[in-house]
Structure 1
Amino acid sequence: MNFKSMLMDQINACYHDKSWFIPLREILIDLNAEQAAREDAGNSSIWAIVNHLIFWNERWLERFESEQFEPTSSMNNDDTFYVDPNTMNDAEWTRTLQRLDRVFRRWDTALEESGESKLTTGIASYFNAPWWGVVSNLCLHNAYHIGQIMLLKKQLRHH
């Protein structure tokens, strides 16, 4: 097994391949905007967590594709969980899900097209971490939040 196939397996397990846990696409498929936007007991909404995942997956994908590492702007991580209260409707939720789908598909393609040498290259401006490690940690980050989303969805059923 090489890094490319391992990382593609991780990305796909997070998004659409049923494995050790229910993949994100399957968890979200039957939620409407109202359910996705529901906040409970001070927790972020499912929609807010999805926006956070989109932000970080897009940001790292841009870095991976451009082969340049630009430090994150002065944006506060909490701001990546933002959902505009004026656009909480089913059409906007559908657009959010399409954007999520797009970034996971782009990751799959980017990894498929990458050479093993790229994945072992260290990112000089990011602690010289190799790309395989960064993408693997991104998948762990995704899995962490997928677990949160699954719990929030289960709580919706009890309301």
Structure 2
Amino acid sequence: MNRKEVILNQFKACHNTDTWFVSLQTALKGLPAEQAYNYSAISVHSIFEIVNHLCFYNNLELNRFKGVQDNVQISDNETTFKPLTEKSWELLVEELFQTLERWQSAIEQSDEECIEKNAESLTYINLHNAYHIGQIVFIRKSLGTWNDSQGVHYNV
């Protein structure tokens, strides 16, 4: 398996393919808006805020990967958790999933040289996504909204 395939598989694992951890699609499955806005006693952010943060960074990094100029200056990472405009939970989730689909398409269309040049940042965006997927599952467990049957099961 070459580097491009590995990175593409990482994007798929974060988006919609359960592997060693559940994908974002599984982590958010069946989560209604009213629960997405809730805070647990052990979390700093709601799931809605985490999804907004993931949307922000995945869009930003995808545009940078594609060479789209931006004038984004992040003075405080905390602001990336708060939506700039009112969005419904359903639209926010849809936007994130569309961005992850665009990521996969961009990786598939890239040549090996581009992947090699950007390998470190591509790996880090996936690590970032996986970290926050874990937070989402942890928050759902702490709020009692996680269905254990959605977890990853190993055939031993």
Shorter-normalised TM-score: what interval?
A: 0.7 to 0.9
Which contiguous aligned blocks of 4+ residues in structure 1 show a shift greater than 2 angstroms?
none
Look up the SS of the partner of 2:36 in the other structure: helix
Does structure 2 retain, via aligned residues, the 8 Å contact 1:47–1:83? no
CA deviation after TM superposition for structure 1 residue 74, in Å? 3.8
Does structure 2 retain, via aligned residues, the 8 Å contact 1:8–1:108? yes
Partner of 1:117 in structure 2? 113
User: With structure 1 as the length reference, what TM-score do the two structures score?
Assistant: 0.83
Name which of 88, 93, 108 aligns with 1:97: 93
Partner of 1:146 in structure 2? 133
Unpaired segments of 5 or more residues in structure 1?
Answer: 122-130
RMSD over equivalenced CA pairs, Å: 2.0
Partner of 1:81 in structure 2? 81
Distance in 2 of aligned mates of 1:73 and 1:6: 30
Structure 1 counterpart of 2:62, which letter? L
Count of aligned pairs between the two proteins: 144
Partner of 1:127 in structure 2? none
Distance in 2 of aligned mates of 1:4 and 1:67: 21
User: With structure 2 as the length reference, what TM-score do the two structures score?
Assistant: 0.84
Look up the SS of the partner of 1:12 in the other structure: helix
Does structure 2 retain, via aligned residues, the 8 Å contact 1:37–1:46? yes
Matched, 1:53 2:40: no
TM-superposition CA deviations, 1:31-80 (whole Å, max 9, x none): 11110010123520001001111111100000111266x57414421001
Look up the SS of the partner of 1:66 in the other structure: coil
Does structure 2 retain, via aligned residues, the 8 Å contact 1:51–1:96? yes
Distance in 1 of aligned mates of 2:35 and 2:83: 13
Distance 1:151 1:96, change over 3 A: same
Partner of 1:157 in structure 2? 144
Distance 1:83 1:63, change over 3 A: closer
Does structure 1 retain, via aligned residues, the 8 Å contact 2:40–2:143? no
Unpaired segments of 5 or more residues in structure 2?
Answer: 146-156
CA deviation after TM superposition for structure 1 residue 101, in Å? 0.7
Aligned-residue sequence identity (percent) comes to: 36
Distance in 1 of aligned mates of 2:79 and 2:135: 18
Structure 2 counterpart of 1:29, which letter? K
Distance 1:75 1:99, change over 3 A: farther
